A and B are shown apart, each in its own frame.
Chain A
Amino acid sequence: MSEEKKYRKVRIKKGPKGWGKELIIEPKPGRDLIYSVTGGGIHPLAQHIADLSGGTPFDGFKSKAGFEEIAVVIIDCGGTARIGVYPMKKVPTVDIYPTSPSGPLMRFITEEFFVSGVRLEDVEVIE
């Protein structure tokens, strides 16, 4: 892997049926993982965010990483567990399903750390 990685700042907006506002994600050296915690490997949305931002796609079910290495987490959470675990750790979290804060960890799910219902077209490069 080249050390000459070019990172770009991206805006990830909530989808039309989703919750939240938008997350601004800027991978940095040492914190550039686009961490997919989804069924079936790297989710296409995670790949897309990686392609646009220059971050590194990463399958959370295959390998281990520390939270400090993660730029953003992509989940396919049905609304109870993953939706809260990553915001609780203050890791920006994108749910592909249009869920709203719920579950026992609901208090951690804030607009600062969470958007949902996100589609490929909801991601754009801003810098």
Chain B
Amino acid sequence: MNPTVVKYEAVVTEIGPLVSEFTEAGVLVFFGDQAPEELREFAILHDGKKLAADVVPGDLICLDDDQFRVLAVGEVANQNLSALGHFIVKFNGESTPEMPGDICAESRPVPVIAVGARLKIIGSE
């Protein structure tokens, strides 16, 4: 395996009261902590800043000690992550993104996330 590189790193700062609307559908919605109020309701807010390299299939999303393999990355997902800290993870096991903003990960139960959780996206160089 090639050396790993941390592409994105953040700490969860806030969990919106309506996040369960999305987790019940197998989706996690992340936004940077500049997001306006109406988006915060549905989002997991975090303090991530810079996307060091584009997320690609095969990368790992790490949420504290859990790791989820990325299977597909929609065509606008990296742009949203880079500009807004915004990304969508669907734990659906799909290798083709349904929507252009999707990051698809292994089909597993959606992890429970709390304020203070450490988020990382790692890949190989």
Contact = CB atoms under 8 A, between A and B. Distances in A.
A14 interface: no
Contacts of B102: 78-80
A81 B38 contact: no
A37 B86 CA distance: 12
A42 to B, nearest CB: 13
A78 B77 contact: yes
Given A37-B36, A99-B100, A102-B99, A81 B29 contact: yes
B104 to A, nearest CB: 12
Contacts of A38: 83
Interface in B1-56: 21-22, 24-25, 27, 29, 31, 34-39, 41-43
A81 B102 CA distance: 11
Nearest to A96: B76
Interface residues of A, number: 24
A40 B76 CA distance: 14
Interface in A81-107: 81-82, 85-86, 89, 97, 99, 102-105
B60 interface: no
A82 B39 CA distance: 7
B84 A39 contact: yes
B79 interface: yes
Interface in B67-116: 74, 76-77, 79-80, 82-84, 86, 88, 90, 98-102
A80 B27 contact: yes
Given A39-B80, A39-B82, A40-B83, A85 B39 contact: yes
Interface of B: 21-22, 24-25, 27, 29, 31, 34-39, 41-43, 74, 76-77, 79-80, 82-84, 86, 88, 90, 98-102
7 contacts: A77-B101, A78-B101, A79-B100, A79-B102, A80-B99, A82-B39, A97-B76
